[in-house]
C-alpha cells in the first residue's frame, strides 16, 4: 500500500493535529472544511492552513481529486453525510479512513457508500483523546484493508492495530469504552456539583479515595470538568452515537442517553460563557461554583 497524497476532511482540532503530523510522510497534504467557505471563518482558517503548508481545498470534490488517502475527522453526527458526499467524488482505489466516533451501524452505512464508489473504507476507533498523543494516538482499525493500512501507519510511527476485517468491531470497542469514560465524566460533574451545593465534598471525596485509592479524585475531577467544558458538544454527539450502538445491540440506552444529555447541558453552559474566564488548571471547585451561581440566578 503506497499512499502519498493525503487529504483531511475536517480542519478542526484533530484535523489540524493530523495534517501537521502526517505532512512529513506525504508527497502532498490537503484539507477540506466547511469553514474554508464560510465568510466568518474563511480567512483565519485558510491562513492557518497556509502557514502549516496545508493546501486548503475549495470543496470535497477538489480534495477527492487530489488525494489517494482520505481521513475523515469530523463530528460524530456528520460521519455518514461526509462519507456519502465523498463517495460522489472519490477516485477508484482511494483509501478512506474514518476516525469519527460513530456506531457500528453508521460505520457500515458509510462503508457501503465508499465501497460502492470503488474505493476502500477502513474504520478507526480512536481510543483516547488525540492531544497530547498527536498522530501516535492509539487506534484500532477494522475492514478488509485494515491490516494493510495498519502496517503502513506503523511505518509512519503511528499507533495503529488491525482488530478485524469485519466492519463494526473497532467501532463497537470504541463506543462501549466511551459509554464508560464519558459516563464517569457526567457522574463526576453531577456528584461533585451536588456535594458542593450541600457543602459535603470534604466528606464525599475521601470516601471515593478510600474505595479507589489509585485515583486522585480531586485532580481527576478537575480534568473531567475541563474536558467536558471544552468538548461537551462533541462528547454529546459521540454519546448519541453510543446510544445507537446500544440500540443496535438490542438494549434500551437509558444510561447512555442520560450521559449525552448531561454532556450537552454542560456544553450549553459553556457556550453561554459561564466558564469563559477560568484559568487553565482551574480546580473542579471553580467549575462547580460557576454552575451553582448560575443555578441561583
In this structure, are residues 19 and 52 in contact, taking their beta carbons and an 8 Å threshold? Answer: yes
**Final residue of a structural domain among 143, 166, 189:** 166
Query: How many domains is the chain built from?
Result: 2
Q: What is the mean pLDDT of the chain?
A: 97
**Final residue of a structural domain among 110, 144, 166:** 166
**What pLDDT does 281 receive?**
94
Band the pLDDT of 1: cuts 50, 70, 90.
confident
Average pLDDT over residues 17-29: 96
Give me the DSSP letters along 103-160: -HHHHHHHHHHHHHTT-EEEEEEE-S-HHHHGGGS-EEEESTTHHHHHHHHHHTT--E
**What pLDDT does 297 receive?**
67
Same domain, 122 and 145: yes
We report the CATH number of the domain holding residue 202 as 1.10.1040.10
Same domain, 11 and 138: yes
Residue count of the chain, please give it: 297
Same domain, 138 and 114: yes
In this structure, are residues 9 and 90 in contact, taking their beta carbons and an 8 Å threshold? Answer: no
**Final residue of a structural domain among 166, 183, 203:** 166
Q: Reply yes or no on whether the pLDDT at 123 is more than 80.
A: yes
Average pLDDT over residues 39-49: 97
Residue entry with cell 477508484: 92
Query: 126 is in which domain, residue-wise?
Result: 5-166
Same domain, 148 and 193: no
Question: Which set of grid coordinates corresponds to residue 169?
Answer: 468491531
Closest CA to 287 of 6, 279, 4, 92: 279
Same domain, 71 and 139: yes
Give the model confidence (pLDDT) of 151-205 as tens digits: 999 999 999 999 999 999 999 999 999 999 999 999 999 999 999 999 999 999 9
pTM of the model: 0.91
Lateral strand order in the sheet of 160-164: 55-56, 28-32, 5-9, 69-72, 95-98, 120-126, 139-142, 160-164
Same domain, 118 and 194: no
Same domain, 14 and 145: yes
Same domain, 101 and 231: no
Same domain, 195 and 157: no
Amino acid at each position: 500500500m503506497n499512499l502519498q497524497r493525503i487529504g483531511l476532511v475536517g480542519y478542526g482540532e484533530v484535523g489540524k493535529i493530523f495534517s501537521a503530523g502526517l505532512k512529513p510522510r506525504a508527497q502532498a497534504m490537503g484539507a477540506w472544511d466547511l469553514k474554508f467557505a464560510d465568510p466568518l471563518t474563511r480567512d483565519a482558517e485558510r491562513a492557518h492552513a497556509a502557514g502549516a503548508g496545508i493546501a486548503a481545498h475549495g470543496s470535497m470534490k477538489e480534495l477527492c481529486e487530489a488525494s489517494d488517502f482520505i481521513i475523515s475527522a469530523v463530528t460524530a453526527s456528520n460521519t455518514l453525510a461526509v462519507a456519502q458526499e465523498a463517495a460522489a467524488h472519490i477516485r477508484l482505489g482511494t483509501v478512506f479512513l474514518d476516525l469519527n466516533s460513530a456506531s457500528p451501524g453508521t460505520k457500515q452505512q458509510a462503508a457501503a457508500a465508499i465501497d460502492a464508489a470503488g474505493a476502500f473504507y477502513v474504520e478507526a476507533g480512536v481510543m483516547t483523546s488525540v492531544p497530547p498523543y498527536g498522530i501516535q494516538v492509539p487506534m484500532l482499525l477494522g475492514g478488509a484493508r485494515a491490516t494493510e493500512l495498519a502496517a503502513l501507519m506503523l511505518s509512519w510511527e503511528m499507533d495503529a492495530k488491525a482488530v478485524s476485517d469485519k466492519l463494526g468491531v473497532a467501532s463497537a470497542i470504541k463506543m462501549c469504552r466511551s459509554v464508560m469514560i464519558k459516563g464517569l465524566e457526567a457522574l463526576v460533574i453531577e456528584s461533585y456539583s451536588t456535594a458542593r451545593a450541600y457543602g459535603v465534598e470534604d466528606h464525599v471525596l475521601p470516601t471515593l479515595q478510600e474505595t479507589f485509592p489509585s485515583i486522585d479524585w480531586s485532580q481527576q475531577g478537575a480534568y473531567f470538568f475541563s474536558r467536558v467544558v471544552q468538548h461537551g458538544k462533541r462528547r454529546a454527539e459521540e454519546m448519541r452515537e453510543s446510544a445507537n450502538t446500544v440500540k443496535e445491540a438490542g438494549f434500551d440506552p437509558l444510561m447512555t442517553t442520560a450521559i449525552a444529555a448531561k454532556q450537552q447541558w454542560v456544553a450549553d453552559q459553556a457556550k453561554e460563557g459561564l466558564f469563559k474566564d477560568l484559568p487553565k488548571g482551574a480546580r473542579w471547585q471553580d467549575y462547580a461554583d460557576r454552575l451553582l451561581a448560575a443555578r441561583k440566578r
